Every structure is written in structure tokens, then in C-alpha cells.
Amino acid sequence: MAPRTPAKNQSPKTKTPAAKPLAQEHADFTAEGAPPPGKVALGEPVTRRSHQPRPPEPTAQSLTTNQGLALPDNHNSLKAGLRGPTLLEDFILREKITHFDHERIPERAVHARGAGAHGFFQVYENMAGLTKAQFLSDPALQTPVFVRFSTVAGSRGSADTARDARGFAVKFYTAEGNYDLVGNNIPVFFIQDAIKFPDLVHAVKPEPHNEIPQAASAHDTFWDFVTLMPESTHMLMWVMSDRAIPRSFRMMEGFGVHTFRMVNAQGDASFVKFHWKPLLGTHGLAWDEAQKLAGKDADFHRRDLWEAIDSGNFPEWELGVQVVPEEDEFRFSFDLLDPTKLIPEELVPVRRIGRMVLNRNPDNFFAETEQVAFHPGHLVPGIDFSNDPLLQGRLFSYTDTQLSRLGSANFHELPINRAQCPMHNFQRDGMHRQQVNTGRVAYEPNTLASGNEFRVDGTQAQAKGFSSVHEALESPKIRQRSPSFDDHFSQARMFWLSQTEPEQDHIVAAFQFELSKLETPAIRQRMVDNLAHVDGQLAARVAAPLGIGAPNKQAATLWSGFRAAPHPVDVQPSPALSMAQAPGGNIATRTVAILVANGVDATSVQTMQQALADAGASSKVVAAALGTVQAADGTPLPVDCSLLTTPSVVFDAVFLPCMGLHAAAMAADGDAVHFVLEAYKHCKTIGACGSGAGLLASLGAGQVTEPGVVLPLPGVVLAAAGALPAGFAPAFIQAMGQHRHWSRSGLATVPA
Ligand code: HDD
């Protein structure tokens, strides 16, 4: 069940029942839904949301202006005569058009394209030993959350499947205030100091003279910058991997990236890295598939999230922490404060401490997903920053950006941003103020406020309020990078060595793709020179098709103005960094295309549909046209989608049932052939029976030895010609559980 906003003064321990839609949730804060004004004593700093009387409930008939005036007509402006000019006095027309003219707000400078959802977080056990954060103390407590996933570089209208990091921002509405964990799906960042962030973003965004390319890093300015900043090498490895083209938001890991601190009630602090582990596993798309999806379904990820929640398949993640006691701060070969480094899970295991379930779609994209304002500085007692210089700079940037994006210092009053616990202070006024603050006292201390005075009590603040970690700081002011941040290549190498062979192939291909798009050969050369510090073979393979010289390690250290440690420390591979090595098996919520034509064996379709449904997956019957096809037994089989609008890239697997002689006709249909070959090329599971298997073989994709190609075993006797043999559906489901069959051979020769 979804959580409900804890009511004011409600015990925070109350288990929260199903969430109310935002519109209803915040009705008591709006002019329409404001409670009748109560008597407020002079000087009392209690605030009410509005003093407006409640207007009559709107009905279907009562279309009104923003002032509540009923409209006589919403189709015609006020004119001087039937065919005369429109009158300036038409305030109804002017109000409507003025509002429309101002409907757009500036999109986010980065992470403009996103999708959000509501849900709850619940800790597994009391974490009091580690942190005094109240929402991490009670396993019975469900804390409401709002999560926004995003790409980084593209504009608001860009495609979901661009190669990019993904934002993973979580707002916890805790009883002690809002806590925001504003992370990414990649555990490291491009740069070590926030002062380089504007440069990084300017480099990756479309080039300023012609605003090309959209949502793509494959252009000169991005690679010019990153090749001059060797600290970005580690994140480049991640961004060139399949992590940067996730199958779904629901199938990505999330990371807090920086090292944070947790503090318990005794004041003991530990360093902490945050992880989100998706229960559906971590999976990527094929690059060719991602590019095609950008055109065929630019909303692929947001649609997937929306439909999963809408159909009750609530995505779920576990929150994990890697904890490093303060005394172990210098135990590692890298600096915990360096955001280009991760702590290998093999060194410090991830402890899973709770779960997050997303169970409600937003009511309104703009009001919630667009207006939500995250900030790494939104903390609760028990969680604190570290001195990571990237994090420190972020603490300024996020409030600042909301001022221009949301237009006022009162953005915290927008329903999606409001704390869901009591909130009192003496801040007043400003653009778009919603609260109607009452009384004469707007300062502290005071003696004129009667009743609640909302004073800060020193003792209480120690016990309940936020207090920063008591860290002794005594050092000269200095504008320098710590030498402990110098090693830019060891973890990049660790990432490379931790990948399976197909995953390494994808990284090489991604580098080749991006660098081939560069107009400036010297930048291509700089990148491969740089990669030579990660791995000689990697650099040579990337360089091969780029029309440049062999990688020159020596040159890389010459151009770098940084004290990059020239030789990576020899690191152990970390299997946790490989998506392919993670345990698979779960096909829940995956979608299978069942490609049919007239003459199809309806029983095998239904058997497969049932088997998939039992495994938590779904299927769609795809044919050349909508309507029905006539099955072999003469019954009509309904078609869900046509080849005209539904490409194979939106599916996880394909099943070709027996279609009698019609399979041969299908082999002459270019769209159907493309559909099957494309799924094959993208390494998806393909199952085929009877004449469906014949069709697959005729396309050169029906080798029983190919991974993920599921065919009836020779010699298996079928109950009826073309029917699904025993064990076929389980074999198909098992193959799907491996997500993709990246080691499939001969893909280069498949023309899709
Ligand atoms: Fe950032 C948005 C994540 C470094 C400045 N960032 C933004 C969002 C995410 C991140 C997920 C979207 C939030 C949403 O959905 O509304 N950012 C990160 C991570 C970083 C990081 C994981 C490094 C570890 N960011 C970073 C730096 C700066 C910023 C160093 C500036 C110094 N980020 C911003 C911003 C944005 C933003 C410009 C744009 C919109 C917003 O804040 O609200 O202020």
C-alpha cells in the first residue's frame, strides 16, 4: 500500500496507509480547499495557508475564469459585431491567453528530461547504532518519497534512450523534514571539484554556435574537455558501458556518489556510500536498439515506468550502505573524498538496510515532476556531508538554480516540495508566497508572540535538531587539489578488467562510435593516448578504425597539465561492477512479442501467454495488421499491435509459433523479417516452433547452438502438429531470464 502524508502532530511512528493523490493531499493548502479561518491571537506566529473563503465546489458546468467568474462561452472572443474585430476589453480572452503565454518555465540546466513517481521507503531494522535519522529507526514506519529519474544532457523533449548518465533523485518526506538523496545511476563523477561543473556541462551540451547535437556526448567539445581532464577517465568508462543505456529506470542501480556521513545519537560518525539496488536486476539495451528507440519511442523509459506502476507492477529498490568507520578513513589506496572513486563492494560490502517501492504515478507532470526541487543540502539529523569538494559546491548550486527555474525563494511551498511535518520559522513574504502568516511577530527572540514561540532551544537542538559533525578544521586557505586525488586511471582500469568479454566489446564499440563522430583528429588521438594508461589493448582496439596514429601513452602525460599518476596501481577486478555477472533469472514485467499470421496454432500462443503471465511477464500478439488473424482451427485470434507501429525494439523477446504455410509468406514480408532479425541482432531471446522455426532458419537465425535461440528439441513428439512441446515454455523463460545473449556469434553479418 502506498503511504499517506503524516498529518501534522500525528505520531511519526504511525504506519502510513495508502497515498492520496497530490491534488487531494494538498487541497487544504489551496485557496479552494482552505479550512475556515480560525481565530488567531495577536502576535501568534502560527501560519495558515489561506484566508480565502471556500468557493462552491466546481461542477462540470461551472467553467470559470481564474477569479471564479462563470464563463458564458469558451469558444468565442468578444467582438464588435459578428464579423468585427476583437475587443481589447475582453478580459476573459486576455486572462486565458496571458496564462498560456507564461506556461513554460526554464528547464533544468542539466537533468531536464525526467520522469517521476511517488512511493514509500521502509527500513528493515533500527539503524540507531549508525544514525539517529528517525526514518531509519523504525521498521514499522513507511516514509513517503517522490523519485525523479532523468537523463543529464538532453533537453526536456529529448529521447529517453540517449547514451548518458541517469539521475536518480529521491525526496524522503520524513517526520524530521525533507531529506534528498540526489544521485545518479553511475557511482562516480566526471570531475573532482564543483568549480569545473559549468565547464563540463557547457562541453557536453549542444555546441553554442549551432545548438547541435541534442542529447549526445559524441561531439568535439565534450571530448575536447574530457581528454584535457584525465580525472574524467573513470566515469568515461562507465558512460561508454551499457550502464549508460539502461533497459528501464526500474532496472538501474542508484548511487549517492559522494561519501556522506552518518551520525548516531552519541555523536559517533561513520563515512557512508549510498546504493540503490533494483529488485529487477541491472540491465542495459544494445546501442543500436537504444538509437532506434530514440526515434520509434522517444518516451520508452518514462512510458515503461508509468505503465509498470499503472498495472500494479511497483518497481522496488533496496537501499544499501557501505560503512567506513571514521578511524578507517585513510585505509584505502584512494581518497574517500574523491568523487571519481568508488569503494569496491568486495572491499566494503553493501549492507541492504531498507526498501523503496514506487506505487503511484503523479497526477500532473508539471506540478510534481517538473516543479520538484531536489537539493543535496536537504538533510535530516543523523546524516551529514563530507568534505568532498564536488559535494560542497553542489550545496550552493541547487537552491540557487531553483530561484531562476521556479522563480522565487518560496519554491518550498509548492505542494511537491513541502515538508510533510510541521514547519515554522520567521521567513516572510517574497514572490508567490502561499502562506498567510499572521500576527505582528516576524522575528526571534520575541516576547510578543503568544502561545507557540518556536524558539531554538540549545539543549533541544542538541537532542533533536540538526547539528553538524563536530569536525576540527585548522588549515590555511588554499586553492589546490589534494595529491591524494591524483590517481586518475587505476579505478578506470579496475572497471575495464571487471567486465565480461561482450561488455568490453560494447565499451570499445561505444568509444569508437563517439570518437568517430569527432571532426578534430587530435582529440581522437588524445583520447586513445589517455586510454593507453587504462589498458593498452583497450586503447589499440578503440584507435583501430579512427584514422589516427597508435596510442601513445607518453604523449598523454605530456599534454596533461595535471599531476596524473602515470601508472595505475594494479587493482583487483570487482565482479560487482559487471552487469552481465549479476545473477539473472527474473523475467517479471518483461514483454514478449508473439509474431503471428493466419494459420497460427492458437493453442501454443495461449500456452505461451499463460506461461509468461505465470512468470510475471506479459505478451503482445503482433501481426501485419490490427484486428484478428484466423487461427489454424478457424477461430479468430485478436491482434494487439501491428508491425506498422510496433518495432521489435520495444520488446524483450520474440516467440514465433507455428503458422502453417503462412510462415513462408511471412518470410516475404520485409517488415516481419526485419522484426525478427533485429531482435536476433539485439541478442534477445527468440523461441520458435513448427513452421515458425522454419521461418527462423530461413532467415539464418535459427541455429539451435546459438545462445538464446529456443527451438523444439529434435525427436520430441508433439501432441498436435505445430503445438508447443513440453518443456519449451520453461526453456524460453529461462533464456529470457539471462536478459540478453551478448555472446551470440555472427552478429555483424545480420543486416537489421
Ligand atoms: Fe547535479 C540537477 C545529480 C553534480 C548542479 N543533479 C541534478 C539532478 C540530479 C543530479 C539527479 C536532477 C534532480 C531532479 O531530478 O530535479 N549532480 C548530480 C550528481 C552529481 C551532481 C550525482 C555529482 C556527484 N550538480 C552537480 C554539481 C553541480 C550540480 C557539481 C554544480 C556545482 N544539478 C545541478 C543543478 C541542477 C542539478 C544545476 C539542475 C536542476 C536542479 O539542480 O535542480 O543545480
Atom 7 (ligand 1): residue with closest C-alpha? 111
What percent of the chain lies above the pLDDT cut of 90?
78
- Nearest ligand 1 atom to the CA of 183 is 22
What is the per-residue pLDDT for 351? Answer: 98
DSSP type of residue 366: I
Instruction: Indicate the pLDDT class of residue 27, thresholds 50, 70 and 90.
Output: very low
Residues with CB under 6 A from ligand 1: 108-111, 114, 148, 150, 167, 169, 182-184, 189, 194, 197, 257-258, 339, 372-374, 390, 393-394, 397-398, 401
pLDDT of residue 90: 96
Q: What confidence score (pLDDT) does residue 748 get?
A: 82
Q: Ligand 1 centroid to 202 CA: how many Å?
A: 14
The mean per-residue pLDDT over the stretch 669-681 comes to 96
Say whether 277 sits in a helix, a strand or coil.
strand
- State the Cα torsion 493-494-496-497 to the nearest 10°: 110
Mean pLDDT of the chain: 89
Most ligand 1 atoms within 8 A of CB, residue of 374, 402, 406 to mutate = 374
Minimum mean pLDDT among 20-24, 179-183, 318-322: which range?
Answer: 20-24
Q: 186 CA to middle of ligand 1, Å?
A: 13
What is the pLDDT, as a whole number, of residue 718? 52
**ipTM of the complex as predicted:** 0.99
Q: Is residue 408 predicted with pLDDT exceeding 80?
A: yes
Q: What average pLDDT does range 673-700 have in this prediction?
A: 94
| pLDDT score of 116 more than 80 | yes
Q: What is the pLDDT of residue 80?
A: 97
- The three three-digit cell numbers of residue 232, written as one number: 574524467
Task: Please determine, for residue 35, whether its predicted confidence score (pLDDT) is greater than 50.
Answer: no
Of 31 and 652, the one with more pLDDT = 652
Of 524 and 561, the structure prediction assigns the larger pLDDT to 524
> Which residues, including other chains, have CB under 8 Å from residue 255's CB and lie 6 or more apart?
168, 183, 184, 185, 186, 187, 273, 274, 275, 276, 342
Which of 26, 118, 178, 184 is labelled catalytic? 184
The arithmetic mean of pLDDT across residues 579-600, rounded, is: 92
pLDDT digits (tens, 9 = 90+) for 220-274: 999 999 999 999 999 999 999 999 999 999 999 999 999 999 999 999 999 999 9
User: By alpha-carbon position, which residue is closest to atom 30 of ligand 1?
Assistant: 194
Determine the pLDDT at residue 557: 65
Stretch 586-593: mean pLDDT, rounded? 96
For residue 367, give the DSSP letter.
I
Does residue 213 have a cis peptide bond before it, meaning omega lies within 30 degrees of 0? yes
Q: How far is the CA of 182 from the centre of ligand 1 (A)?
A: 7
Give pLDDT, residue 291: 98
When pLDDT is averaged across residues 329-356 and rounded to a whole number, the result is 97
pTM comes to 0.91
Alpha carbon of 480 to ligand 1 centroid (Å): 23
The stretches of 473-593 forming alpha helices (DSSP H) are 490-497, 501-516, 521-531, 536-543, 553-559
CB 741 within 8 A of CB 708: yes
pLDDT of residue 158 exceeding 90: yes
* CA–CA distance, 416 with 413 (Å, rounded to integer): 8
Flag whether pLDDT at 25 surpasses 50: no
pLDDT at 507: 98
pLDDT in tens, 414-461: 999 999 999 989 999 999 999 999 889 999 888 888 665 666 655 554
Residue 4 — very low, low, confident or very high, per pLDDT cuts 50/70/90? very low
Which protein residue's CA is at the shortest distance from atom 44 of ligand 1? 398
Cα 571 to its chain centre, rounded Å, is 30
Dihedrals phi, psi of 204, to nearest 5 degrees? -90, -25
pLDDT of residue 55: 47
111 is catalytic: yes
Inform me whether the pLDDT recorded for 30 exceeds 70: no
User: From the CA of 16, how far away is ligand 1's center (Å)?
Assistant: 30
Question: DSSP letter string over 384-397?
Answer: E----HHHHHHHHH
Provide the strand spans (E) within 388-444: 436-437
Banded pLDDT at 721 (limits 50, 70, 90): low
In tens, the pLDDT along 47-60 reads 444 444 444 555 66
CA-nearest of 8, 588, 698, 685 to 315 is 588
Map residue 281 onto helix, strand or coil: coil
Q: Looking at residue 724, what is its pLDDT? A: 86
